[in-house]
Structure formats: structure tokens, C-alpha cells
């Protein structure tokens, strides 16, 4: 399952989610091999999920052993890109790249920012700490920064691994518990509550106006591309404790994209 394909005859890349339903219906009638996906140019079939998501899939028998991404994962990528584009940034889904030494990577979302290219990875499945670090290192070697959106149910395990990492570097338990990774922002992605539509990204406002914010993916996409996520100092409301953490500057989000009042 993928959101992008190539027209075999012309080499033009197309996106499933920006194609109108009428055009999609016409394309589904074209011969097999009209559209190809992946570096191996696998013939693709055009599908639509029960929720209306349009996507490409490998033709029967040609999908390989890679597990397909979930609809939830695909929708998250689309919403991030939509927010980034609405804020004026060039953003694309499922973009491949390689380090100078030839190690391959593919970003869920790749956006061009004033500070250079940035990848945003939506990590809904459990992933080992070593894999987080290895994938982050590949992006860094390629001159790409990365932000990880991690499903809330896996976030505690990731935090425990971060603590052990810092302790291995010589920090005390207390220091390790209250220190984020300055090269690897990992931000929790929580499910919707109240009347929210879709999952929310949990961030801590830099102005300390409230303990946390629950941002729609579109708003987070617009803000993270604009520099809203910054490594700074988090502190208790009474100022008694300060520690390094990733903070959110809402002034970097276009006002038109800020979420209305409601569940927080």
C-alpha cells in the first residue's frame, strides 16, 4: 500500500490522495502496468478503502514480503502533508533517499524548511531503540533532520530506553529521567478524545500557558515545518525544576491553522 505511483509511460509521479474521485475511477479502468510503484517499478492496482482512502497496491502476487502500512498510518501522512502545504511548505509523502555511503531510507513525510530538509516519521508500531537511533543516524548523515511521532501506547517503553541511553553516557538516574534527546525529538501521538476528529499530537507550549496542547496532525505539520518545535527548557509551573525538552512555539503556526477552542 502506497500513496504515490509513477505513470509507466511518462515517468510522472502522481499522488492518490490529491487525485479526484472521478479521475481515480477512470484510472482504475486502465490496463495493468499503466502505473508502477517502488524502485522495482512493480505494476500497481488502484484501490479505495471503506473509509474512502485512495491508494496504490502491488498487483496480486507481486507485493513481496513487506507488511503493508495501515490505513491509520496513511491518513496520518496525508494530514501532515496537507498542513505543511497549507502553510506554504513543499512537502511530499514516501520520499526515498540515501546517505553518502549508500544506506537507503524512505521518509513518511519529507518537507523543505528554512533550516533544511526535515523528515517526519509516524511510528505506530513498537520499534526497538537501536532502530530509532540507526534510522535517525541515516537521516543525519544525509543532512536531514527528523521528528518522530510515536503512538502513546509505545511512548513509555521508548522513554525507558532513552533513560538507559543517557545513563550509559554517564548521567545519573535523576538526570537521565529528565533529559530529552536533542537530535531526536520523539513526540507522543494520542487517540482522539471528546469530539476530536482523528489523533492528536501532544506538545508542551513554550509560553507555559498550559501544561500541554493536543494538536491536530495538520496543525502539527504546519508548525513543525515552520520551526515551532524547539529544544528548550521545560519546568514545573512553580519554577522549582527545569530540564531540557522539546517545546512548542505556537507563534510559528499560521493563525488560520490554529485549532479552535475545545478539548485540550
The reply to whether 29 falls in a domain is yes
Domain extent for 23: 4-58
The reply to whether 83 falls in a domain is yes
Cell of 234: 521545560
139 and 249 housed in the same domain: yes
Alpha-carbon span 7 to 20, nearest angstrom: 16
> Residue 263: is its pLDDT beyond 70?
no
**Residue 160: alpha-carbon gap to chain centroid:** 22
The structural domain count of the chain equals 2
Half-sphere exposure at residue 14, Cβ-oriented, CA atoms within 13 angstroms: 22
82 and 47 housed in the same domain: no
Alpha-carbon span 3 to 37, nearest angstrom: 9
119 and 209 housed in the same domain: yes
- 253 by Cβ neighbours in 10 Å (0-12 / 13-18 / 19+) ranks as buried
The reply to whether 50 falls in a domain is yes
In this prediction the pTM is 0.91
pLDDT tens profile 206-255 = 988 888 999 999 999 999 999 999 998 877 666 667 888 999 999 999 88
123 and 233 housed in the same domain: yes
54 and 98 housed in the same domain: no
28 and 149 housed in the same domain: no
Mean pLDDT of the chain: 91
The reply to whether 16 falls in a domain is yes
Query: From the DSSP assignment, how many helices (H) and strands (E) are in the chain?
Result: 6, 14
User: CB–CB of 93/231 below 8 Å?
Assistant: no
- CA angle (118 as vertex; 107, 52 as ends), nearest 5: 50
The reply to whether 231 falls in a domain is yes
pLDDT tens profile 52-101 = 999 999 998 776 545 567 899 999 999 999 999 999 999 999 999 999 99
215 and 113 housed in the same domain: yes
Alpha-carbon span 253 to 257, nearest angstrom: 7
Amino acid at each position: 500500500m502506497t500513496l504515490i505511483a509513477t505513470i509507466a509511460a511518462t515517468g510522472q509521479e502522481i499522488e492518490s490522495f490529491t487525485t479526484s474521485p472521478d479521475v481515480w475511477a477512470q484510472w482504475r479502468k486502465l490496463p495493468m502496468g499503466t502505473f508502477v510503484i517502488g524502485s522495482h517499478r512493480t505494476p500497481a492496482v488502484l484501490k479505495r478503502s471503506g473509509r474512502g482512502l485512495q491508494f496504490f497496491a502491488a498487483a496480486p502476487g507481486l507485493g513481496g514480503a513487506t507488511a503493508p502500512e495501515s490505513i491509520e498510518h496513511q491518513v496520518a501522512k496525508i494530514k501532515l502533508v496537507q498542513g505543511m502545504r497549507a502553510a506554504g511548505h513543499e512537502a511530499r509523502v514516501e520520499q526515498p533517499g540515501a546517505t553518502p555511503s549508500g544506506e537507503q531510507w524512505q521518509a513518511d513525510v519529507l518537507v523543505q524548511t528554512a533550516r533544511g530538509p526535515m523528515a517526519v516519521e509516524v511510528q505506530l508500531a513498537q520499534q526497538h531503540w537501536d532502530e530509532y537511533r540507526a534510522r535517525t543516524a541515516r537521516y543525519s548523515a544525509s543532512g536531514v533532520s527528523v521528528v518522530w511521532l510515536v503512538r502513546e501506547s509505545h511512548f513509555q517503553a521508548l522513554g525507558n530506553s532513552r533513560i538507559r541511553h543517557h545513563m550509559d553516557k554517564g548521567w545519573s538516574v535523576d538526570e537521565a529521567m529528565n533529559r530529552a534527546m536533542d537530535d531526536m525529538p520523539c513526540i507522543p501521538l494520542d487517540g482522539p478524545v471528546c469530539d476530536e476528529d482523528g489523533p492528536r499530537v501532544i506538545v508542551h507550549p513554550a509560553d507555559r500557558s498550559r501544561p500541554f496542547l493536543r494538536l491536530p496532525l495538520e496543525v502539527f505539520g504546519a508548525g513543525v515545518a515552520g520551526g515551532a518545535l524547539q529544544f528548550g527548557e521545560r519546568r514545573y509551573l512553580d519554577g522549582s525544576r527545569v530540564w531540557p525538552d522539546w517545546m512548542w512555539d505556537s507563534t510559528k503556526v499560521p493563525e488560520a491553522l490554529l485549532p479552535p477552542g475545545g478539548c485540550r
